[in-house]
Structure 1
Amino acid sequence: MGIHVLRNLSGGNMSEQVPLFLAPMAGVTDVAYRLLARESGADFTSTEFTAASGLSRKDAKSWAKVETHPRESPFIPQIFGGIEDEMVETAQLLSKDADVIDLNFGCPAPKVTKTCAGAAMMGEPENLVRMVERCLENSEVPVSVKMRLGINQETLTVLEIAERCAELGVLRVCVHGRTLSQKYRGIADWDMIAKVVEVCEPHNTPVIANGDIVDADSAAKCLEVTGAQGLMIGRGAIGDPCIFGRIKSELGWEDFEAPWGDSNQAGQKHWAWNRYVELVDEIGGPYAARNMKQHAISFTKGLPGGRELRPHLHAIKDFRLIGEPLNIALEAFSQRRHNTLMVQEAIEAAATASEAGGWRR
């Protein structure tokens, strides 16, 4: 699937397959997890959203967030920032290796918005559009944008901003159906995303819908309401990368050959966790495993005994040792040897790992 494929899609409905995107998320979409999502059915993935300020001053940890792998194509780094010149410089730097550069105007985190970056930019349409225009002018590759509806219900700027970005020639527009003030509360406004689709259609600019897509039913309903040309899944894919394959299979979009076979959802998580650990080992380097503990905690959520197991996982200081205790718990539960993740063997393995001390680089 090429990076420009969305230009020719006619719109979403329940019977027509559209691309599925893994949303860029800090502390989640590291290289290994992006590769895992691809193997699990995602069509497009993006890096963790990364500060242009760190990238422009060559900060090593910032650049680690935008590393890629030969199997990740297209490569889409996402950046955020409130200073126009930093965003432009970073777009220039990244365009040497990226296939697409995505600009974040959707993050509601206070540490981002306090610098007038992320979703805070939705309150400054002129500055946002000028930033997009300059990034387009200075990037060697296409530029896409991700945004929210506006600052609050009284200032819904998304239609103006999305249309102007489409006029400038962005590759696609992704819209999360909430405002900055909502953060993740309430219900995503898919009707407003449908209006974004309408204003972008004359410019042949695809719109990707984001927000409250958690399974095949919600995916189908979102497409029915919005007419979007793609779906982006964020929180629904945390600890459950197999959501992409399930949506494709359950909606009959394609003959998706699931690498987890006919396993139930617990079995899918067991397969996915072990595959993530394998990918972390394959990628190697000092940063590959940095999100492993956070992912391990996420994989336990929604499963019986997960809440009780999590303190045992939290106690493991060397996050490279967290793989086996969770593997034991997921295997026993998915194979129905136990009806909970609180398996004695897993608890003992976690205790042994926690006694091993921390990781010193």
Structure 2
Amino acid sequence: MPEPVPLFLAPMAGVTDVAYRLLAREAGADFTATEFTAASGLSRQDAKSWAKVETHPRESPFIPQIFGGVEDEMVETARLLSKDADVIDLNFGCPAPKVTKTCAGAAMMGEPDNLVRMVERCIEASAVPVSVKMRLGTNQETLTVLDIAERCAQLGVLRVCVHGRTLSQKYRGIADWDMIAKVVEVCEPHNTPVIANGDVIDANSASKCLEVTGAQGLMIGRGAIGDPCIFGRIKSELGWEEFEAPWGDANQAGQKHWAWNRYVELVDEIGGPYAARNMKQHGISFTKGLPGGRELRPHLHAIKDFRLIGDPLNLAFEAYSSRRHNTLAVPEAISMAQGFKDVKFVRRK
């Protein structure tokens, strides 16, 4: 078995809101980061952008992640965030076209000198440590990660996280853990930890990734969408610690049921106009991988008032967790969801 390493919840737009980050911590994650947020909006003091980097007293360390293609905006944002953050993470890994078309995110991997200069200036402007997340390069012909990672390590970044795919791959193909192992080698002389990201979906893949890469930590993204309990399961199944699972001995469906109800509790606790903005999408994500989930999801999508999604979800989860998915319970949940689809959302005063 591999030695214990910290587990990170990857920053993801529309996923890692405050409530979900707190939930992931309770479920076994060691580190979480905010949704990746545009420096252009933060530097302009845009309210919606700043809502994405809100935090909670129980969230420690607080790690906002930012992206941008304009150096001065990134530097100013790093300065502003460092007043409250414990670490600032710079995103050079997002492959989304709306990000890369502005030469931000993973597109920066094609401009090593500009990227490294941006990192250096952000470090100078920030009162707290800076970390970086990156990909292997823009495509297989231009794998710039070794040069960039080593130069960032020389600058003194706190850690380097590497997703084992290129920009052009997006999420296709298999993550190249061998290349991440080479990043570990070039960063080792500078005592810079490397966090491996890509294709870690359970304890078995976590163990194999650590064996191949020798990384000092693992970051989980898509595997944690709708399944925050993945962190606790990995720790327990690899024997890393006596993790006291708050969901008890529930099966995976029961874990998701616990996670959904706990997420709702955290949203209510946090309050504010933005706390529940991702609730509907999270609820739908929790049904993935469960029997009957494929049939239920379109009906959940059709519900306009996100506050009504809980009743059919809980009915279905109860069926899933007690292995009654072949009874009328899931069709009943679908019927309930259909009854809610025309109820319009009215904001409470």
Q: Structure 1-normalised TM-score?
A: 0.94
Aligned match of 2:207:
220
Aligned 1:282-321 pairs, distance under 5 A: 282-321=269-308
Q: Distance in 2 between matches of 1:68 and 1:82?
A: 25
Alpha-carbon distance change, 204 to 280 in structure 1, aligned in 2, over 3 angstroms: same
Q: Is residue 152–residue 180 contact of structure 1 (8 Å, CA) maintained in 2?
A: yes
Measure, in 2, the Cα distance between the counterparts of 1:345 and 1:105.
45
Does the 8 Å contact 1:88/1:138 carry over to 2?
yes
Q: Answer yes or no: is the 8 Å Cα contact 1:56–1:86 preserved in 2.
A: yes
3-state SS of the aligned residue for 1:45?
coil
Distance change >3 Å, CA 150–CA 341, structure 1 → 2: farther
Kindly indicate whether residue 108 of structure 2 is the aligned counterpart of residue 121 of structure 1.
Answer: yes
Provide the residue aligned with 1:9 in structure 2: none
Please show how residues 1-361 of structure 1 align to structure 2 within 5 Å: 14-339=1-326, 343-360=330-347
User: Would you say the 8 A contact 2:2–2:210 is kept in 1?
Assistant: no
Deviations 1:81-128 (A, max 9, x none): 000000000000100000000000000000000000000000000000
CA deviations 1:49-84 (Å, max 9, x no partner) are 000000010111111100001111000000000000
Over residues 149-183 of structure 1, what are the superposed CA-to-partner deviations in whole Å (9 max), with x where a residue is unaligned? 00001000000000000000000000000000000
Alpha carbons of structure 1 residues 340 and 72: separation in structure 2 relative to 1, 3 Å:
farther
Deviations 1:198-254 (A, max 9, x none): 000000000000000000000000000000000000000000000000000000000
Runs of 5+ consecutive residues of structure 2 not aligned to the other structure: none
Whole-Å Cα distance in 1 between the matches of residues 13 and 327 of structure 2? 30
Could you say if the C-alpha distance between residues 18 and 216 of structure 1 is closer, same or farther in structure 2, counting changes exceeding 3 Å?
Answer: same
When the two chains are superposed, the root-mean-square deviation of aligned CA atoms in Å is 1.2
SS, match of residue 314 in structure 2: helix
CA contact (8 A) 2:247 2:258 kept: yes
CA drift at 1:258: 0.3
Per-residue displacement from partner, 1:314-335 (whole Å, max 9, x unpaired)?
1111112212211111112211
- Report percent identity of matched pairs: 89
Q: Is the 8 A contact 1:177 1:188 kept in 2?
A: yes
* Distance across 1 between alignment mates of 2:335 and 2:115: 53
Q: C-alpha separation between the residues in 2 aligned to 1:355 and 1:16?
A: 52
Tell me which amino acid in the other structure corresponds to 2:45.
K
Distance 2:27 2:307 in 1: 23
Q: Secondary structure at the match of 2:286?
A: helix
| Partner AA of 2:134 in structure 1 | M
